[in-house]
Amino acid sequence: MAEPSLRERLNALREQLHSYSYHYYVLNESTIPDAEYDRLFRELQEIEAAHPEWQSADSPSQRVGAEPLAAFSQVRHETPMLSLDNVFSEAELLDFDQRIKTRLKDSAELSYACEPKLDGIAVSLLYVDGVLVRGATRGDGRVGEDITQNVKTIASIPLKLRGTGWPEELEVRGEIYMPRAGFARINDAARSSDGKIFVNPRNAAAGSLRQLDSRITATRPLEMSCYGIALGDGEAWFYSHSEGLATLRDWGFLVSPELRVVDSIQGCVAYYQDLLARRDGLAYDIDGIVFKVDSLALQEHLGFVSRAPRWAIAHKFPAQEEITQLRDVEFQVGRTVIVGLYNASTTVYKINRQKERVAGRGLRRAWRESGQFRVVAAEVGRGRNWLQVNQERSPISMSNHYWR
C-alpha cells in the first residue's frame, strides 16, 4: 500500500474506532462484533508502530473507552481505569512473557495470577471507614458515571466491610455481570409480559446498571466479582495480586472461584486450554482469560504504557461460529445501490447439551459456503439482533445487515 493510501487508511481506522466506541460505551449499543473491533484495533496499532511519526494524541490507541452519558453525575477516577492489551494465540502469549523477562533482565520463570475475563461491566467501589460511599462505571477510563444507588442493590457487593485491617480509604475494582440462569429468568418473564428481551447477559447487566430508578436495578440478578485494588491509604498490606484478592474475599467480596496462580507461562497456556474446554459449563459468560504478573513489586517495576499495564494481558477466546441452512431471504436495494440483506430467517442447531445460545455480541452477517450459509455468531448481543438455540432448534432472523 502506497504511503498516502496508508495514511488515509490510518485516519479512516481512527474515525471508525471512535465511532464504534461511542456507540458501545456511550449509547450502550453494538455496531460491530468484538472480534472485528479487535482486528481493526490491531491494524491501527501495526500502522502506528511502523510509522511512529504518525502518532496522534487523539488516536484510539492512546485512550480508553469513550465519554460517559450526562444522565448520571460524573466521577473522576483518582487512578485511571485502564484497559488490557489482547493476545489471540499461544505464540503471542509467549511473546508477552518474553517481553517482561527482557524488561526485567531476568530469564527466571514468573508467577502469574490467572482469572476468567468476565463479560460484564467494569466498576469502581469506594469505601471510607469500611462503608461503601460510591460506585462508578469505568466511563472513558478517567471519568465515569456515579451509580452508587444501583450498586448498593447488588447482594454480592458489601455495604460494610467484614473483619478488620482494612484501610481508612479503599477503592475496589471488579466486573458486574448477570449469570446465565438469571438472564434466562428475566427474559422468560419479559416474554410472558411482552416486555423488552435482552440480547445477552452483558447487555442485560449494562441496561440494569444504567437505570435511573435503582428499584428496577434491585429486581435484576446481578453479581460482582472483584479483580483488584486501585487505592488504599497507608502501607501495603500484601505482596501479591492473589494475596490481595484473598484479602478482599475475607472482607466480604466475591472473588472468582476460578482464580489460580501458576509458576510459569506454560502454566498460563494450560489454564487457558482448561477453561476454554469448560467455558460452556460455567454459570456466566467469559470471552477470554486475564493473566497478571502476581508480584506487586514486579508490577510496579514494569509499569504502564499509555492505555494498559505492561504486567497484564487478556488472552481472548476464538469467536464462536455455527453452521446453518438459510431458509428464506429478502433483499433491498438502497439509494446508494448497495444490496442490503433485509431479512433472513434460518435455524441454528444446538451446539451441545449445556449451551443454549451462541454467546457474544451480535449476529452480524452470513456468507455462502459449500451450499450452506455460515452464520457469524461471533459475539451475539448488545445490538438489536439476538440468537437463541433451544434443545432442538429455534428460528432466528437478521434484519438490516448488508450482504457482503
* Pairing between β-strand 393-402 and β-strand 365-369 as defined by DSSP bridges: unpaired
DSSP label at residue 255: B
174, 227 Cβ separation under 8 angstroms: yes
| Catalytic residue positions, numbered | 117
3-class secondary structure, 69 = coil
170, 248 Cβ separation under 8 angstroms: no
29, 200 Cβ separation under 8 angstroms: no
Long-range CB contacts for residues 335-339, cutoff 8 Å, separation at least 24: 338/402, 339/402, 339/403
Cell digits of residue 131:
462503608
* Alpha-carbon separation of residue 395 from 56, 65, 328, 345, 382 (angstroms): 46, 35, 11, 7, 19
- Crossing angle of helices 201-209 and 180-192, rounded to 10°: 80
Cell digits of residue 214:
435503582
Cell digits of residue 363:
449476529
